[in-house]
Chain A
Amino acid sequence: MSKRQLAMAMDLNKCIGCQTCTIACKTLWTRDEGMDYMWWNSVNTQPGLGTPRNWENMGGGFKDGVAQAGQLPTKADFGEAWQYNHEEVFYGGKGQNVHLQIQGETPNWGPNWDEDQGGGTYPNSYFFYLPRICNHCTNPACVAACPRKAIEKREEDGIVLINEDRCRGYRFCMEACPYKKIYFNHSKGVSQKCIFCYPRIEQGVANACARQCPGRVRFVGYRDDENGPIYKLVEKWKVAVPLHPEYGTDPNVFYVPPTGPLRFDENGNLDPTSPRIPEDYIRHLFGQPGIEALAIMLEEREKVRKGGKSEVLDILIAYKWSEMFGGFDRDPATIEWDNNGPINKA
């Protein structure tokens, strides 16, 4: 266990599935060769098969304290990076006579392929978005699996990093990660994954996915900082809970479960007595703590509805973006650089 642990909390009630986080991550970290199919940050419509396809049934994690080898997700499971006829459309001299088309085989899967499906039946159909990054677990199955000690959990902040100089591309980590958030780079022959934007963090700047989120969904900070948002959401108010805690890795990404809209009864009237998003589904994702978190959320909302104040709802509303990041709110434009990196460190 590391001395301190950085964590992220995401409020699923606020995520609009715009994928700005996904693109923020993509443009910053996964543009190099062999990374075209990688989405270190992904956002999927739930219920759904997710990314990679059916990842929740691929195994991994811990059983009786022993790291388990699950399935190796294939490139097709993640969704191959499709190539388009950009050249022809923009520079082919064909004006409006051509349009963008995927080149090669017609794909049958991709990131958030089942975006517009969701669950339930009309009029009580439902969906919500689930953004995912590496969980930088307290008990990382990837670290336990690697025969080369190529994966490190940093002592100072608990960020889990793959050392590409030691990695030989054996992919035991991909088998072990129950969240299937590790990718294999076929050009470099190494495994790669979300790095929790550690070069930004080291300069006092929150993760790109968090900082660029238009919905102010993501909170960042140390778990043990009692004045920070993570401690308040996770420990104090217990409204943010880990995804699939039964996987046994003790994730450090937390979610405020979605309350969802009200349900209609058979007469078409709003029925507040049971939730539209089935409890079983929330329990499937977050276990009983997810149900308890929802109960706290509903209670706090009721309190505010009656004219009271709620610390936890004020945090989740995020009136000031700078208060979401536990001190990691430095303006990147204030960082001065020379060839060796930043010269005015955080």
Chain B
Amino acid sequence: MKANYLAGVDTATLLDPKSNAWNQPKAETFKLMGTPLGMQPTELIRSSWAKKKIGQVESIKVQAAHNGETIAFRIEWATKAPSMTNGDNSIFPDGAAVALPADARAPVITMGAQGMPINAWYWRANDGGHGRQLSAEGIGTSETLDMEFVKTNGVYENGHWSVVIARALKIESKKPVAQLEVGQDAKFGVAIWDGKNQERGGIKAFTGGAWLDLSLEAGK
């Protein structure tokens, strides 16, 4: 899909999922699948989820845009029962994440592999817009890199979450992060957690085992 170049649109505007700026980028619908049971990292999780549906959210609409400095993904999905908190301990906040390869060889299905990290930008419904940047080199290995670079904003309205996850195209970091270039192609994937279904960690819906294509529109 294409990340439109929205010249002159500031990051704050991109972060507003209701902004008119989002009228322009074309939305693409992606079917999601639950993460495979066999790939859950502990036996407890594999046995306790064997008879439960992993991945309640079945499809999402994704838009992408950049302003030459920052790239933003706007992800929208339907849910009748949004989860904003950890409730009484027994539910989890809804979440969304965009994954990008931090190494060209990194597989998305296993969240990277040793020596082939992926980079994930993460939103949780209860995080107050403090996005989280992670890297992972395989299932169960994700590490928080910082809470600084990724900006998020989620709005729930009319039975839909609209979530924007944004980060500077390039950041100064020695850690394994994705560095994006205007006018070039990139890869990405998306994961969604349905908190009322107790989805957290590796229990989530995702865009599948293949990276999705992203082309960052060059400046006009």
Chain A contact residues, CB within 8 Å of chain B: 66-69, 72-76, 141, 144-149, 165, 168-172, 174-176, 184, 186, 189
Contacts and interface: CB of A to CB of B under 8 A. Distances in A.
B47 interface: yes
Nearest to A63: B47
Contacts of B126: 189
Given A147-B45, A149-B140, A186-B85, 12 more contacts: A69-B45, A74-B90, A75-B89, A144-B43, A146-B42, A147-B139, A147-B201, A168-B201, A170-B201, A176-B44, A184-B89, A189-B126
Q: In this complex, which of B44, B45, B142 has the most chain A Cβ atoms within 10 angstroms of its Cβ?
A: B44
Contacts of A76: 88
Contacts of B43: 66-67, 144
B79 interface: no
B42 A174 contact: no
A176 B47 CA distance: 12
Contact of A169 (B40, B41, B86, B140): B86
A162 B140 CA distance: 16
A72 B90 contact: yes
B44 A145 contact: yes
Contacts of A74: 88-90
B89 A67 contact: no
B200 interface: yes
Please list the 5 inter-chain residue pairs (A to B) with the smallest Cβ-Cβ separation, ordered nearest first: A69-B48, A74-B88, A67-B44, A147-B41, A145-B44
B53 to A, nearest CB: 16
Contact of B45 (A75, A141, A145, A184): A145
Contacts of A170: 92, 200-201
Given A66-B47, A68-B47, A69-B47, A147 B89 contact: no
A187 to B, nearest CB: 10
A146 B200 CA distance: 12
B50 to A, nearest CB: 10
Nearest to A67: B44
A139 to B, nearest CB: 13
A148 B202 CA distance: 10
Nearest to A185: B86
A175 B42 contact: no
A280 B38 CA distance: 41
B140 A174 contact: no
Nearest to A72: B90
B42 A147 contact: yes
Interface in B57-91: 85-86, 88-90
A175 B48 contact: yes
Measured as residues with beta carbon below 8 angstroms from the partner, the interface class of chain B is 20 to 34
14 contacts: A66-B44, A67-B42, A74-B88, A74-B89, A74-B90, A144-B44, A146-B42, A148-B140, A148-B201, A168-B201, A169-B200, A171-B89, A184-B86, A184-B89
A168 B41 CA distance: 15
Nearest to A147: B41
Contacts of B47: 66, 68-69
B89 to A, nearest CB: 5
Contact of B42 (A144, A184, A186): A144
A142 to B, nearest CB: 10
B142 A148 contact: yes
B132 to A, nearest CB: 9
Nearest to A186: B86
B150 to A, nearest CB: 15
Contacts of A141: 44
A313 to B, nearest CB: 42
A172 to B, nearest CB: 6
A147 B140 contact: yes
Interface string B190-201: 000000000011
A68 B42 CA distance: 11
A217 to B, nearest CB: 30
A171 B48 CA distance: 13
Nearest to A168: B201
A125 to B, nearest CB: 34
Given A74-B90, A76-B88, A148-B140, A175 B200 contact: no
A191 to B, nearest CB: 10
Contacts of B40: 147
A174 B44 contact: no
A176 to B, nearest CB: 6
A261 to B, nearest CB: 39
Contacts of B85: 186
A41 B41 CA distance: 31
Contacts of B200: 168-171
B45 A174 contact: no
Given A146-B42, A147-B42, A168-B201, A174 B89 contact: yes
Nearest to A148: B140
A148 B42 CA distance: 9
Contacts of B142: 148
A67 B42 CA distance: 9
Contacts of A66: 43-44, 47
A68 B48 CA distance: 7
A165 B147 CA distance: 13
